[in-house]
Chain A
Amino acid sequence: MSEDLTTKTEELSLENNKTVFDSKENFNSKHPLNNKWTLWYTKPQTNKSEQWHELLKPVITFASVEEFWGIYNSIPQANQLPLKSDYHLFKEGIRPEWEDDQNSKGGKFQYSFNKKEVQSIISDLWLRGLLALIGETIEEEENLVNGIVLNVRKSNIRIGLWVANVQDLDSLKSIGEKLKKILQLNENSKLELTSHDEKIKDPLLVV
């Protein structure tokens, strides 16, 4: 019995770090994400009768890595979006509006890129932001990040990371520094954290 067990567990070892990712042949299971995510889209106003709340629409919700790639491959990339469009990727149940209860006490890190300079790489930067968000590598265990936003405007493109609250500045600083790396910003570029509260106009944190 004990010999049997020994031979069966011989292959098990902590030194053997192989996971399902190492063998595509054996890999047939879905990879669930820690959270469900909803993709939102803000349509540019094409006639004056359209109201703001009508322009912001949820597109689709997904819960696995495979679904994410399926959706990502099927929709226009960041540099293909029409002017005045927005993409939002938020945790399910959170509307990408500062009025939402889960956003109202929070804030956002935001960086504005010059459109001409970043046109060729903005899709890649946006994708890396999405991956850091759904892979949840942008934060440790704080559960502070609510979503990420892309704004396509006439002369610039903005990427913003929305957080649930602005109390824990140490954790927020770590998140800001990771975002700065993801967006390939150099040391001279400043990434500011601003509160959704209109009364607080000054940046809470500069990374």
Chain B
Amino acid sequence: MAKYTEEQLFELKTEAHVPQPTILEAFNKMIEEVQQQTLAQYQEYQQQQQQQQLKKKHNGDTYIDEHGNERSYHHMNRRRGSRSGGNKPNLRKKNEIVQVDEDGWATTIQPTTTKGNNEEESSNTKNNAGGVRARPNNKNLGSSKAVDPREIVSDKQTKAFNAFAALGGSDDDEDEDDDDDEDNDE
């Protein structure tokens, strides 16, 4: 029984002899054709997949563009994306009234509420009491007792800070100033 090891067979590789070249040529040609057909089938399959995906997006209605290409309408009538376009129109009702005077000048005025004059005045006085509106935050205060907003208003600094006085004066002077402030506050 003739046996050849792998090494012995490799040594004979250079002595290769093609027994029937025409048969092998035909075989190679057939494989090449198969590869081309397989490739064509694969491309056809991919096109079908793409067409199916496109069909899902629009109803199949198409038009011919200026370059002669067939295009679908889906890109023209689709809904505007929430993030597309930086300048969206503000369609809200404007909260102002335009008044045109005798000379033709137009001025915008904030609309007044429909409440009576007395109520309006009283509400304004409430809001403007003390000049500063402050909301006390009980959480950050030492006492849990609600703070009267008027007390906060009274804490408002009434004397402006004078940098020259601060630089020029002695420690005693500063103390005096502090005392004055305290007096004023009281």
Contact = CB atoms under 8 A, between A and B. Distances in A.
Most chain B CB inside 10 Å of its own CB: which residue of A32, A72, A81, A137: A137
> Chain B at the A interface: mostly helix, strand, loop or mixed?
helix
B38 A46 contact: yes
Nearest to A30: B17
Given A60-B19, A75-B27, A134-B9, A65 B4 contact: yes
B17 A70 contact: yes
A174 B14 CA distance: 32
> Chain A at the B interface: mostly helix, strand, loop or mixed?
mixed
A25 to B, nearest CB: 12
Interface residues of B, number: 31
Contacts of A132: 6
Contact of B6 (A31, A34, A46, A128): A128
Nearest to A22: B11
A141 interface: yes
Contacts of A52: none
B35 interface: yes
Nearest to B4: A135
B109 interface: no
Most chain A CB inside 10 Å of its own CB: which residue of B17, B30, B35: B17
B1 A65 contact: no
Interface in A18-58: 21, 24, 27, 30-34, 41, 43-44, 46
A93 to B, nearest CB: 18
B130 to A, nearest CB: 79
Interface of A: 21, 24, 27, 30-34, 41, 43-44, 46, 59-60, 62, 64-76, 81-83, 85, 128, 131-132, 134-137, 141
Given A24-B14, A60-B27, A135-B4, 20 more contacts: A30-B17, A33-B4, A41-B31, A46-B37, A59-B23, A59-B24, A59-B27, A65-B9, A65-B12, A66-B17, A70-B19, A71-B19, A75-B24, A75-B27, A82-B38, A128-B6, A131-B10, A135-B9, A136-B2, A136-B4
